[in-house]
């Protein structure tokens, strides 16, 4: 039997010593031996840092985003290889789609976020200038820079592809190399994807390492520049969290643990309403997808006492119709658990719940002598949820959920919180007031809550689907960590530092102009410069324009805005302004008339406006002037060779009056032509 090799220090390596065996979930055939004994973990970490880390840190955020996109496209082209191996884990094609293409989709999402929202630089200014002195000469801002260590990702068996990719995306975007340690039971799927990434040549040498087997002494060699993430059981995660070296060196540790997630049926829903059928469908889908082997799966079904029997009957009927077996056979909707050990563990947990007072409404026992690691859909009922702590603490990590009833709304909230922290919860209701009451009472115990009704169900991604844009994590038993959530996840692998100095110095550090910093003026209008020629701080001070009553009247007639503060002299005199004032939007329009260069040039289009604030009122007779300053630049990557190369330039606009008082502050974005393209197929 062949050994599943690890990829460390830039080479595929076999461990030495006692090995574990990976079995086929359906046939129980022995597939691979797995061991990492004898592999040099200290050297592997150093290699990842010296080679992968240095190369990634030299790339800008935008360049790293382009790398993510290229890797995602490559993996998508080779997806059938991963599907074939995923079938060995007992997963259906639909289960594997979530794992494989869902993971690849996460890479695409982070590639897009990085390209659109992060600077084309190796330093990320996180916020705007923070004034620290009355005169404006001393200020601060927070900046984010890459750590010089390695990210160690310890993943669970249930999503061998998605579990790796959803962590790799923000890790690489932050400029850190990663050492991935998948769970042994499905490590062959992860290894195939790692091999594809390595063979693609799209990532720097050392940016990705793989341990097939135990982590060995790896955690002993980490320091404060490293990061550890863990996905798996709460018990294992807690033991890793207090690893002596992680504690001694304050190594950041993020934990995402299995939890007893709940689905609550609102007391406004009756069997005649569409939400009732949606509730049944959602529970059954979450119980049977991936054979219930999901950290977000519904484990507790909380319903009004008045609907208990109706829900129970509907769930039993729906679950009985789920065909369990080899996913290769037509009509099979649920496959096997990952292996015999997992099947035995699920049976043990179900037995414990029964001993604690739960009753079996469907399923409950597996044929432990069968070759396939199958476990039937199992619905338990807890008659006394308040007096049965086990129903909120014991998780059978399979197609198992426990039904329980609540007497009143506050009781439902108590039961929802009784899981002591979960990754995801769902409330099914058509009542907006009830939804608000539930969020106020239960959100503190959940990382994510879906409110499902007839309207949202048409496009809902479901209770158990973590999305790249949203937080994945939860308090308490769920681990207390955070993953995904858009760019929030990237910051976990960066160091935040408060930097103090003069505005000009802060602008130089961030390569972004900030208000109060020095500007550069020359005889060439900034709109006549190509993207490459523009530099942050390039500025234009415009001629002046005096506002008149005729301007107010003309703009009101043109726009249709006859608000009293502009047009009613008597009412305006009694307002906070004391007299008529110029339309704010005319001030913006007049400012554009002052700073725009009308001729054909590199500036192609107005791309948008941000952070508009009107500071002081403008009255007839006031004279306005504008300062336009290049604030930051972001390169737009070409999608085709024919596409015109461009970049987005953010300009700071300051409109001030004859007293040098700012009357309006905002930013505009323009699409600017580049002189040179960068398209690569």
**pLDDT tens digits, residue range 90-124?**
999 999 999 999 999 999 999 999 988 898 899 99
Are residues 249 and 287 located together in one domain of the fold?
A: no
- The rounded distance, in Å, linking the Cα atoms of 67 and 54 is 15
pLDDT (tens digit per residue) in 48-75: 999 999 999 999 999 999 999 999 999 9
What is the rounded average pLDDT of the residues 317-340? 92
What is the total count of domains within the chain? 3
Are residues 247 and 328 located together in one domain of the fold?
A: no
Are residues 387 and 531 located together in one domain of the fold?
A: no
Q: Pick the residue with more confidence: 284 or 135?
A: 284
Q: What CATH number is associated with residue 288?
A: 3.40.309.10
Contact 429, 418 (CB under 8 A): no
Amino acid 201: pLDDT: 94
Q: Pick the residue with more confidence: 634 or 447?
A: 447
Range of the domain at 649: 519-673
Amino acid 617: pLDDT: 94
Lowest mean pLDDT among 191-195, 329-333, 545-549: 329-333
Look at residue 438 and tell me if it is in a domain.
Answer: yes
**Strand, coil or helix: 380:** strand
Catalytic hit among 33, 166, 256, 654: 256
What is the rounded average pLDDT of the residues 310-328? 94
pLDDT above 90 coverage of the chain, percent: 82
Give this prediction's pTM. Answer: 0.91
Banded pLDDT at 217 (limits 50, 70, 90): very high
Catalytic residue check, 295: yes
Are residues 239 and 278 located together in one domain of the fold?
A: no
pLDDT above 90 (res 506): yes
Catalytic hit among 262, 295, 358, 382: 295
Within 8 A by CB and 6+ apart from 593, the residues are 545
pLDDT (tens digit per residue) in 343-400: 999 999 999 999 999 999 999 999 878 889 999 999 999 999 999 999 999 999 999 9
Are residues 570 and 424 located together in one domain of the fold?
A: no
Lowest mean pLDDT among 343-347, 366-370, 441-445, 508-512: 366-370
Two tokens at 170? 């923000």
Banded pLDDT at 234 (limits 50, 70, 90): confident
Look at residue 511 and tell me if it is in a domain.
Answer: no
Amino acid 437: pLDDT: 95
- The rounded distance, in Å, linking the Cα atoms of 367 and 373 is 9
Are residues 535 and 651 located together in one domain of the fold?
A: yes
Are residues 225 and 289 located together in one domain of the fold?
A: no
pLDDT above 60 (res 303): yes
Helices 409-417 and 432-442 meet at what angle, rounded to 10?
40
Catalytic residue check, 29: no
- Tell me the C-alpha to C-alpha distance, in Å, between residue 63 and each of 66, 185, 203, 334, 532: 5, 35, 11, 41, 17
Look at residue 35 and tell me if it is in a domain.
Answer: no
Are residues 639 and 529 located together in one domain of the fold?
A: yes
Banded pLDDT at 679 (limits 50, 70, 90): low
What is the rounded average pLDDT of the residues 138-146? 96
Amino acid 680: pLDDT: 58
Look at residue 584 and tell me if it is in a domain.
Answer: yes
Q: What CATH number is associated with residue 205?
A: 3.40.605.10
């Amino acid at each position: 039997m062949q050994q599943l090799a690890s990829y460390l220090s830039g080479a595929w390596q076999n461990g030495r010593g006692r090995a574990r065996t990976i079995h086929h979930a359906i046939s129980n055939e022995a597939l691979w031996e797995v061991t990492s004994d004898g592999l040099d973990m200290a050297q592997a970490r150093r290699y990842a840092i010296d080679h992968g880390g240095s190369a990634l840190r030299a790339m800008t955020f935008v360049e790293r985003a382009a790398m993510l996109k290229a890797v995602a496209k490559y993996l998508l082209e080779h997806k059938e290889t991963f599907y074939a191996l995923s079938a060995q884990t007992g997963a259906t094609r639909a289960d594997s789609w979530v794992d494989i293409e869902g993971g690849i989709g996460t890479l695409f999402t982070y590639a897009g976020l990085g390209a659109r929202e992060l600077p084309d630089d190796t330093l990320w200014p996180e916020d705007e200038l923070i004034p620290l002195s009355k005169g404006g000469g001393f200020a601060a801002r927070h900046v984010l820079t890459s750590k010089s260590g390695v990210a160690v990702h310890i993943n669970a068996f249930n999503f061998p592809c998605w579990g790796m990719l959803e962590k790799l995306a923000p890790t690489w975007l932050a400029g850190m190399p990663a050492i991935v340690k998948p769970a042994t039971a499905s490590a062959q799927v992860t290894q195939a994807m790692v091999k594809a990434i390595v063979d693609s040549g799209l990532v720097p040498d050392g940016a990705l390492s793989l341990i097939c087997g135990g982590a060995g002494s790896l955690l002993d060699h980490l320091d404060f520049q490293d990061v550890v993430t863990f996905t798996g059981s709460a018990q294992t995660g807690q033991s890793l969290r207090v690893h002596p070296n992680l504690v001694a060196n304050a190594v950041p540790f993020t934990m995402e643990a299995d939890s007893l997630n709940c689905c609550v049926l609102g007391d406004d829903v009756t069997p005649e309403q569409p939400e009732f059928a949606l509730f049944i469908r959602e529970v059954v889908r979450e119980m049977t997808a991936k054979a219930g082997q999901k950290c977000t799966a519904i484990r507790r079904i909380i319903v009004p006492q008045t609907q208990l029997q109706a829900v129970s009957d509907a769930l039993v009927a729906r679950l009985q119709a789920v065909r369990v077996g080899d996913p290769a056979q037509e009509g099979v909707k649920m496959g096997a658990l990952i292996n015999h050990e997992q099947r035995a563990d699920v049976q043990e947990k179900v037995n414990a719940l029964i001993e604690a007072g739960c009753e079996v409404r469907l399923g409950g026992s597996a044929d432990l002598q069968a070759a396939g690691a199958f476990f039937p859909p199992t619905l338990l009922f807890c008659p006394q949820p308040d007096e049965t702590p086990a129903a909120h603490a014991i998780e059978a990590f399979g197609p198992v959920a426990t039904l329980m009833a609540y007497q009143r709304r506050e009781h439902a909230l108590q039961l929802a919180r009784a899981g002591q922290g979960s990754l995801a919860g769902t409330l099914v209701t058509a009542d907006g007031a009830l939804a608000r009451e539930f969020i106020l009472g239960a959100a503190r115990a959940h990382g994510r809550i879906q409110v499902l009704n007839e309207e949202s169900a048409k496009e809902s991604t479901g209770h158990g689907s973590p999305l790249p844009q949203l937080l994945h994590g939860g308090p308490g038993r769920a681990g207390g960590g955070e993953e995904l959530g858009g760019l929030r996840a990237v910051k976990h692998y960066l160091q935040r530092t408060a930097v103090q100095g003069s505005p000009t110095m802060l602008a130089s550090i961030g390569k972004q102009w900030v208000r109060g910093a020095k500007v550069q003026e020359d005889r060439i209008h900034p709109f006549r410069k190509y993207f490459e020629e523009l530099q942050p701080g390039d500025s234009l001070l415009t001629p002046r324009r005096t506002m008149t009553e005729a301007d107010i009247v003309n703009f009101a007639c043109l726009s249709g805005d006859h608000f009293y503060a502009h047009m009613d002299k008597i009412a305006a005199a009694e307002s906070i302004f004391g007299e008529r004032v110029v339309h704010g939007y005319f001030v913006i329009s007049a400012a554009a008339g002052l700073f725009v260069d009308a001729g054909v040039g590199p500036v192609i289009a107005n791309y948008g406006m941000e952070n508009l604030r009107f500071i002081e009122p403008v009255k007839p007779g006031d004279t306005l002037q504008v300062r336009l300053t290049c604030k930051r630049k972001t390169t737009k990557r070409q999608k085709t060779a024919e596409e015109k190369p461009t970049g987005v330039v953010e300009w700071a606009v300051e409109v001030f009056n004859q007293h040098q008082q700012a009357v309006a502050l905002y930013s505009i974005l323009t699409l600017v032509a580049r002189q040179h393209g960068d398209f690569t197929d």
